[in-house]
Amino acid sequence: MTDILQKIASYEPGETQFLVLATVIFCIGMSGLLTRRNAVGILMSAELMLNSAALMFVVFNRFAAPSVDGHIMAIFIIAVAAAEAVVGMAIFVALFRYRQTIDVTQITLLRD
Amino acid sequence: MIASALTTVMFYTIAVGMTVLALTVIFTRKLLRAAVALMAVLMLTAGLYILLNAEFLAGVQVLVYIGGIVVLIVFAIMLTRSADLLEDHPTTKRMLLGSVVGLAMLFASCCAIFSPRPANTQVLEPVKDDVHAIGMKLLDYGPEGFVLPFELISLLLLAAAIGGIVIARKIPAPEQPFTSGGDLPGEVHFTQPRLQREEETK
């Protein structure tokens, strides 16, 4: 039993593991940003990316600097994400009222 | 030793769950399902914050992200009737572009992460009493403090709230751009569509 515990404990995640996880989430969000057609879906992908950026700040704070600066940056990121979600929702609602769709491939007002 | 074994197991469980749920967010055709998956991803991130000894941040994450932003997104889905319609599958070109860019970014970032860097010689102890430390930092006037960004972020939130109301407003404000008189009965005649209104005034 102790052997198994020791074996598991030897794989304790360090900064690399946390950073790779945050990177994976960021890249998933980025490809979602490019493939989604619905504007709300795009907003959700952007939230994923912002979330993983905040996670990276906390990881660096934990493993590289003995302070709380990373926590404060993460709080700022969360506040900016909230502001972005508010404005995004307002724009989508206004757009839907005029065009009856929020499919970004249909919205070509500025094209020609 | 039991603590670190537990941390390891929890980290890898959360990592697998987060990746699967994030993929659900971007690939599912039902947007409401994507919103629920996004909520789960944010919840698991709060779990990671606890593993990283950032308990206050985990609380903020749950309160603001899950309680605020996800609810806003669900409102946006409901108000634009996106939940009724299944989203079309992206075209092959788009899909290819998205995955290639995502994988390229992953490759570049992983190169940066795994490149040699100065090793951490000492194991850092997490800051004790982080709520107190965060509060002191946020209101500190000195060169290490964050009082100006803290005040600016409150301005940003105020501007976003007012901007959201102005943009999503059903009744266009009469004359003045920002003061509308609220719900006064005088605004009732503004509920007509704008074109009709302009014709009447001509």
Confidence band, pLDDT 50/70/90 cuts, at residue B121: low
- Identity of the residue in A17, A40, A86 whose CB atom sits nearest the CB atom of B31: A40
Chain A interface mutation, best of B7, B39, B70, B82, highest count of A Cβ atoms under 10 Å: B82
Q: Are the CB atoms for A16 and A57 separated by under 8 Å?
A: no
- Identity of the residue in A20, A41, A59 whose CB atom sits nearest the CB atom of B52: A59
Q: Are the CB atoms for A41 and A32 separated by under 8 Å?
A: yes
B137 Cβ under 8 Å from any chain A Cβ? yes
- Identity of the residue in A31, A37, A89 whose CB atom sits nearest the CB atom of B87: A37
Exposure string of B43-82, with b = 16+ CB inside 10 Å and e = fewer, is bbbbbbbebbbbebbbebbeebbbeebbebbbebbebbeb
Mean pLDDT taken over chain A = 88
Say whether the ipTM exceeds 0.85: yes
Nearest residue in chain A measured CA to CA from B115: A16
Rounded to two decimals, the pTM is: 0.85
Mean pLDDT computed over B92-112: 91
- Whether pLDDT at B186 is above 50: no
Length reported for chain A: 112
Residue A43 is predicted with a pLDDT of 94
Question: Which of A46-50, B91-95, B115-119, B139-143: highest mean pLDDT?
Answer: A46-50
Residue A35 tokens read as 């493939």
Mean pLDDT computed over B197-202: 64
Cα separation of B37 and A85, whole Å? 17
Residue B123 is predicted with a pLDDT of 63
B38 Cβ under 8 Å from any chain A Cβ? yes
- Whether pLDDT at B16 is above 90: yes
Chain A interface mutation, best of B2, B13, B29, B73, highest count of A Cβ atoms under 10 Å: B73
Put simply, the answer to whether B73 touches A40 (Cβ < 8 Å) is: yes
Q: Is A64 left (phi over 0), alpha (psi -120 to 50) or beta?
A: alpha
